[in-house]
A and B are shown apart, each in its own frame.
Chain A
């Protein structure tokens, strides 16, 4: 075991993993995190806490993770390279590990232009692949980026993201290979709506043997409303929502139920894709639907290891 985290145990144990996303509040209320933790506790193996997602200032990811950890939940600390340089990043990692965080997800982060402080200076001192490599070196060689020694162990389960729907499509697999080479233990993908394209991407990935080297969790976003479906199709960079899904939502009598059905159909198809090791549910502002989806997808009970 590299970190001994619950997520690592589940994935290394060959179970079909389930992770969920917890968005921290735009404020200092711990109860927001605790309530979401309580709601999702028995329905997933680990919970991601986002790091100022879409560049909007929220409670820090690491503090959200500690609040979950206190409840016996295995957190995944998301960390973007947009807001911290290599000094702050390594320091925050040490602090988070000291407080019991074991899973870290490495991302570039949405550009600051999209957030509520668009005139901020983006840091981007290192990129997400370099971040993966830095964490691996801290864990395996017990060394900082500069080569100096880290005292004690830094047990980490290192995650990365990939977006099979971004361009150039042919290069996405090569980039994933780079992340694996840098030290990624698990991958959480962007939300899948176009299962056909995703399956093609997975095929390319299997050809390189990458599904044997890294655990892949496919992203799932349940759609709550027609507006959300349209918004994601038209405005969210990196997400590809086929027109067919938008039409289904538009024509549905019970829109929310249709959203759940679409998510369940996608999960069913994903389960059949060779090399998929689990799903990552990002129920943005609709966390209370996660238990329903996990139960109806036949993914209960979650393994106790």
Chain B
């Protein structure tokens, strides 16, 4: 399981930097796998920033930026970090927020965080979980229709599924086709005859309902 990221357009990163001095942080875990914030991408970013006249005071690739050890890494690199006005973080948003937590500098993300996913073929990732707070994998053959059906149907498939593909893209498998195949193989297809009731969306940690109880 990885947090899947994508690099922001360079123009957007450039806009956020003004004329200021930059320190770059990369991540040795998910962003390295995604090839969005590993050593190679950090060095490429350094080069690009220098080409447009920004000063890079230093860089490091922390093994896992979202870990609390990031605090120690920032202390070790204090000299170079302190010379910078901005820390550009090339990790998922968890990493960006972790760096913000341990540094008073302005912290800006170089990546967009897309989803929690798995890699099926090299560099191709798909979403597996939206962290809804109410896991239904037991009823759906271990495939999540909330993460993988374009309409998040609980009583699918819709009328747009054709040849095992989703109506929105020929590259996207129909999650319900996979669910049906898996349940058929294990003799559990009859389980889908039950009506799945409307979902409680209020259990997700991002929802107001859940936050208000913390």
Residues of chain A having any CB pair with chain B under 8 Å: 81-82, 86, 108-111, 113-114, 122, 124-130, 133-134, 145, 161-163, 166-168, 171, 174-175, 177-178, 181-182, 190, 237-238
Give the interface centre of B167, B177, B192 by most chain A CB atoms within 10 Å: B167
Give the interface centre of A82, A127, A163 by most chain B CB atoms within 10 Å: A127
Verify B167–A127 contact, CB threshold 8 A: no
Contacts A111-B167, A166-B161, A238-B159 given; does A178 touch B195 at CB 8 Å: yes
Chain B residues whose C-beta falls within 8 Å of the C-beta of A190 in the assembled complex = 159
- Contact partner of B162 (CB less than 8 A), chosen from A129, A130, A167, A181, is A167
- CA of A128 to CA of B151, assembled, Å: 10
Chain B residues whose C-beta falls within 8 Å of the C-beta of A127 in the assembled complex = 151-156
- CA of A182 to CA of B196, assembled, Å: 10
B176 → A minimal CB distance (Å)? 8
Verify B158–A108 contact, CB threshold 8 A: yes
Verify A130–B159 contact, CB threshold 8 A: no
- CA of A145 to CA of B199, assembled, Å: 11
Verify A163–B155 contact, CB threshold 8 A: no
- CA of A263 to CA of B167, assembled, Å: 26
- CA of A81 to CA of B152, assembled, Å: 11
Interface residues on B, range: 20 to 34
Chain B residues whose C-beta falls within 8 Å of the C-beta of A161 in the assembled complex = 159
Verify A133–B195 contact, CB threshold 8 A: yes
- Contact partner of A182 (CB less than 8 A), chosen from B159, B163, B195, is B195
Does B9 have its Cβ within 8 Å of any Cβ on chain A?
A: no
Verify B198–A238 contact, CB threshold 8 A: no
- Contact partner of A178 (CB less than 8 A), chosen from B152, B155, B177, B180, is B155
Contacts A86-B198, A177-B193, A182-B195 given; does A163 touch B159 at CB 8 Å: yes
Verify A130–B195 contact, CB threshold 8 A: yes
- CA of A182 to CA of B157, assembled, Å: 16
B159 → A minimal CB distance (Å)? 3
- CA of A53 to CA of B28, assembled, Å: 47
Verify A111–B151 contact, CB threshold 8 A: yes
* Besides A113-B168, A124-B152, 13 new A-B residue pairs in contact (Cβ under 8 A), listed by A number: A108-B151, A108-B158, A110-B167, A111-B150, A111-B151, A122-B151, A163-B160, A166-B158, A167-B177, A168-B157, A178-B155, A237-B160, A238-B160
Chain A residues whose C-beta falls within 8 Å of the C-beta of B198 in the assembled complex = 86, 125-126, 130, 134, 145
B127 → A minimal CB distance (Å)? 15
- CA of A204 to CA of B197, assembled, Å: 26
- CA of A168 to CA of B156, assembled, Å: 11
Chain B residues whose C-beta falls within 8 Å of the C-beta of A82 in the assembled complex = 151
A205 → B minimal CB distance (Å)? 15
Verify B160–A111 contact, CB threshold 8 A: yes
Q: What mask results when residues 163 to 200 of chain B are scored 1 for a CB within 8 Å of chain A, else 0?
A: 11001100000100100110000000100110111110
- Contact partner of A130 (CB less than 8 A), chosen from B155, B161, B181, is B155
Verify A171–B162 contact, CB threshold 8 A: no
A159 → B minimal CB distance (Å)? 14
- CA of A122 to CA of B151, assembled, Å: 8
Chain A residues whose C-beta falls within 8 Å of the C-beta of B102 in the assembled complex = none
- Can you sample 22 A-B contacts with CB below 8 Å? A82-B151, A86-B198, A108-B151, A108-B153, A108-B158, A108-B159, A110-B167, A111-B150, A111-B168, A114-B168, A125-B198, A126-B199, A130-B154, A163-B159, A167-B157, A168-B157, A168-B161, A168-B180, A175-B155, A237-B162, A237-B167, A238-B159
Does B201 have its Cβ within 8 Å of any Cβ on chain A?
A: yes
A161 → B minimal CB distance (Å)? 7
Chain A residues whose C-beta falls within 8 Å of the C-beta of B168 in the assembled complex = 111, 113-114
User: What 10 A-B pairs come out closest when comparing CB atoms?
Assistant: A163-B159, A129-B155, A237-B167, A237-B160, A127-B153, A124-B152, A108-B158, A126-B198, A166-B159, A238-B159
- CA of A128 to CA of B152, assembled, Å: 11
A50 → B minimal CB distance (Å)? 15
- Contact partner of B180 (CB less than 8 A), chosen from A113, A126, A145, A171, is A171
**Closest A residue to B197 using CB positions:** A130
A162 → B minimal CB distance (Å)? 7
A189 → B minimal CB distance (Å)? 9
- CA of A124 to CA of B151, assembled, Å: 6
B192 → A minimal CB distance (Å)? 7
- CA of A296 to CA of B194, assembled, Å: 44
**Closest B residue to A134 using CB positions:** B198
**Closest B residue to A129 using CB positions:** B155
Chain B residues whose C-beta falls within 8 Å of the C-beta of A238 in the assembled complex = 159-160, 162, 167
